[in-house]
Structures are given as structure tokens and as C-alpha cells.
Amino acid sequence: MKRTKITVGVTGINPIDSPGPGIPVIRGIRDSVEMESRIIGLSYESLDPGIYMHELVDKTYQLPYPSAGADRLLDRLEYIQSKEHLDVIIPNLDAELYSFIKLEPQLKQMGIHMCLPTLFQFEERHKFNLDEFGKKYDIPVPKSKTIYAPEEVYGLEKDFMYPVVIKGKFYDAGIAHNPEQAKTYFNKISAKWGLPIIVQQFVMGNEYNVVGLGDGKGNTIAAVPMRKQFITDKGKAWAGISIDEKILLDMTRKFVKATKWKGGFELELMKDANGKYFLLEINPRIPAWVYLAVGCGQNIPEALVKLALGKKVEPYTDYAIGKMFVRYSYDMIVDISEFEKITTLGEL
Amino acid sequence: MKINKNLAISENGFCLNPVTGESFSINPIGAEIIQLFKAGMTSEKVVKELCTSYNIDEATMERDLYDFVNVLKHHQLIQADEKN
């Protein structure tokens, strides 16, 4: 088979203790038998490990932080495009998605394709909208409330039973057993990720996740459920196993059909002692454990690239059950000259 | 007794519940019991079979089987609608 040559820009190339999904996304694309890819890493920090993983990333450019705004990002992408002629960009980080969604028309004019949720889809599934989202689409969600000031934690007993989960807008969460702990988490998380803070009823049980891909027309192109087997102190899965749970697949298809979700996503769920699943979060991008799906026979990154390019993609109907991923860390030896280049020139 | 039909059990007694992703190590007798249930045997037949194989009295076997079945229920390895 003649492989299509393609250049793909990938963000989130930081496989650290709270890993970005970029490297597993790249591994999926590299595994494609249909595409011969040149991979352009798009990084935010000079020590993002992906910058130095030359067997996976052909060249890396630094991007301005999302807080710098969409205009700065567009300027930078225009420069990168003049050098690299990107066909597709896959943004993988929550904090940058708003800017990329906003820039989608301009990037398309430049020849860069993406497969992203619409701004409405992106906003609607926010943690602070989850209550309404659950009601609208008839999906069980834990009771939640958005708060803006630390003093508000003192009124929570009216609506919640401790423990509660205190969550940041984009990242971070803590389980609070009393108002004092809730206030501490409020201050810690809001200082890092801003407001609002989301208070969610704690659900005791086991964590399950689904990685999926929607085509924007209501079709689920891919979906693989996973049970976390080992969780780090940051709440990240360090090992997991693909499972055969029809309820989760039905929930996923229902979510995609109802929202006409476009792009990759992750559903985070908790199964309580009665066997009922609660949707805790919808991440509007591919998760870092996506390579498990590739290993199970559903190459989601490859399918996403094809969707971005407007190609017809047949939905995956099967996957291997009982496949596990086990993550590991690894020390690379890097010459200072490489660090110097990325730090001073912003590219390597 | 109906063991979950998708339950995978290896020769070594390693058992994976593919619905929940939980895995268990089951001793040889436990694995044998699961295989007998999977083959469609009733509890009564399993008791008789094991009493003959291991030369054990029926009351003890019934009690041990009851305990084991409760463990299987606890871990959702038996289909929820099965009472026996």
C-alpha cells in the first residue's frame, strides 16, 4: 500500500508525572500503515520531554502560553506553517483548546486541518455545567455546584454530604472532609488554575474511563472503556485494563449521538457500590492513555487525522478486551546544545 | 448457578472479570468449581462431584461451597439475576 505523506503538529508532548497526551498520540500516528508522517512537536516548556524524543518527534517549535491569547498563537503558527506546511494539528491540552477552536477558520485557510469540538460543545461540557449537562442528556452525574469565593464552602452542608471533591476549572482536585479542608483546596487550586471552583459530591467506588472519537454527525467512530488499576498521587492512571462493559459503551454512544460530538474525548466515570455509573467529567480531547486503545485495535489518533482531513472513516466495532497498559518513566541523556537551541531559538 | 459467561479463567486459576477489569487468583479447587459451574452443573451436582473426588462429607462441602459462592457474588462473578 502506498502511504500518504502527511505532516502533523502535535501539542502536549510532556509525558511527565501528569502526562500530556502528545507522545501516545504520536505513537498512534506512527503506527499507521496508511500514513507516512512527519511529526512537528508543539511545546510550551523547554524541558517538555517530547522535544528530545527524536525517534518520535522530527522537529519541535515552542508555542506562546495560552494566557498570551489567540493572536500570539496565530502569529506563531503562521511562522511554523511557513516552514513546515502542516496538514493537521492535534491540540491535546485543555487550556489551549479554546484558542485553537477560535482559530480554526484562519488555520484552515492556511491549510491546517483540525478535528475539534465546536465552541458550544466545548463550553457545554465544562465541569461547572455538568449538572445541567446531565439533566439535558439524561446522563447520571454527581450533584455539583460552582463557587467563586472561599467563604462559600461554609454553606455547602445544606446541599452536600462530606466528603466532597473540590475541583479546578481545568485541572486538579482534592477530597475535602470538612469545610476547613474544602477552603484549603479552594485556595490552593484557584491560585493555580483560577476561578470558578467546582464542588462535587464525592462518589465512593471504582474509576472507569472511556476514550472515544466522534465524527461531528452523531456517530461514534471509536470507543474503548478502561478500568484504572494503579493511580498516582495526582490521580493519573499508571496502569489500566480494557474492559467489556456494555453500559459504558452505550453511555458513550448516547453522549456522542446527543451532542454530535466532534473530535477526541474522554469520559471519566465512577461506579458506586450499587453498580451505577456517574459521569464525573468530559475531557474534550484525547487522554494520555490513548495508546491502550491503539493496542486494542482502535487507532484513534490515526482516525482523528483522517477525520480532520475530511476523509471517510468507518467506525471501529471491536477491540481487544483484557489488554493492559503499564506506564513507566525513563531518563533520556540530552546534550546541553539541544537545550540551548530550544531555549534561545524556540525550535529544535 | 451461572458464572458470568465472559469470565476468563486460565489453567493456573488466574481469573479476569472482563466487565469490571478486576482480576483474581483462585486456588485449584476454586478454579475447578468455576469450571464445573461454567459447564452448566447445578450446586447439588458440584457438591456430589467434589465429595466423590476429594472424599469429603456432604455437609462440609455444602458449607464451603456456600462460602465460596458468596465470595463470587461479592465480586460480581455470578450473574446478578441468579439466586442459586
Helix (H, G, I), strand (E, B) or coil at B2: coil
Q: Are A89 and A162 in the same domain?
A: no
pLDDT of the residue at A29: 98
Q: Are A147 and A61 in the same domain?
A: no
- Picking from A226, A240, A245, the nearest residue to B19 by CB comes out as A245
User: What cell numbers appear for A329 in the block?
Assistant: 518513566
Nearest by Cα to A194 from A94, A321, A118, A275: A94
Confidence of residue B82 (pLDDT cuts 50, 70, 90): very low
pLDDT of the residue at B81: 47
Reply yes or no on whether the pLDDT at A48 is more than 60: yes
A308 domain-assigned = no
- Nearest-angstrom CA–CA distance, B41 and A167: 50
Of all residues in chain A, what percent carry a pLDDT higher than 90?
80
Q: Are A101 and A182 in the same domain?
A: no
Confidence of residue A270 (pLDDT cuts 50, 70, 90): very high
Picking from A201, A235, A267, the residue at the C-terminal end of a domain is: A201
Q: Are A25 and A107 in the same domain?
A: yes
Confidence of residue A52 (pLDDT cuts 50, 70, 90): very high
pLDDT, tens digit, 9 for 90 and up, residues A205-241: 888 999 999 999 999 999 999 999 998 888 889 999 9
Picking from A241, A246, A247, A318 by the largest number of B CB atoms within 10 A of its own CB, the best residue to mutate is A241
Q: Are A110 and A191 in the same domain?
A: no
A18 domain-assigned = yes
Chain A residues touching B74 at Cβ < 8 A: none
pLDDT of the residue at B77: 86
Chain A residues touching B6 at Cβ < 8 A: 244, 321
pLDDT of the residue at A119: 94
Picking from A164, A182, A201, the residue at the C-terminal end of a domain is: A201
- Nearest-angstrom CA–CA distance, A258 and B32: 46
Q: Are A29 and A91 in the same domain?
A: yes
Domain range spanning residue A9? Answer: 4-115+331-345
CATH code at A26? 3.40.50.20
Q: Are A15 and A72 in the same domain?
A: yes
Contact between chains at A244 and B20 (C-beta distance less than 8 A): no
CATH code at A165? 3.30.1490.20
Is the peptide bond prior to A163 cis by the omega test (within 30 degrees of 0)?
Answer: yes
pLDDT of the residue at B40: 87
Confidence of residue A133 (pLDDT cuts 50, 70, 90): confident
Sign of CA dihedral A168, A171, A174, A175: positive
pLDDT of the residue at A67: 87
Domain parsing of chain B, residue ranges = 8-74
Q: Are A162 and A111 in the same domain?
A: no
Contact between chains at B21 and A240 (C-beta distance less than 8 A): yes
A172 domain-assigned = yes
User: What cell numbers appear for A113 in the block?
Assistant: 486541518
Q: A92-96, A171-175, B35-39, B73-77: which has the highest mean pLDDT?
A: A92-96
Contact between chains at A206 and B18 (C-beta distance less than 8 A): no
User: What cell numbers appear for A30 in the block?
Assistant: 506512527
Å between A212 CA and nearest CA of chain B: 18
List the single residue in B with minimal CA-CA distance to A227: B21
In this prediction, residues A8-26 reach a mean pLDDT of 95
Q: Are A101 and A173 in the same domain?
A: no
- As for how many domains chain A has, the answer is 2
- Nearest-angstrom CA–CA distance, A34 and A336: 37
Would you say A73 and A63 are in contact if contact means Cβ atoms under 8 Å apart?
Answer: yes
Q: For chains A and B, count residue pairs whose Cβ atoms are closer than 8 Å.
A: 28
Contact between chains at A206 and B20 (C-beta distance less than 8 A): yes
pLDDT of the residue at A322: 94
- Picking from A206, A226, A321, the nearest residue to B18 by CB comes out as A321
pLDDT of the residue at A128: 79
Chain A residues touching B16 at Cβ < 8 A: 241, 322
A89 domain-assigned = yes
What integer best gives the mean pLDDT of chain A? 94
Confidence of residue B8 (pLDDT cuts 50, 70, 90): confident
Picking from A152, A172, A201, the residue at the C-terminal end of a domain is: A201
- Nearest-angstrom CA–CA distance, A272 and B2: 24
Report yes or no: B22 at the A interface, CB cutoff 8 Å.
Answer: yes
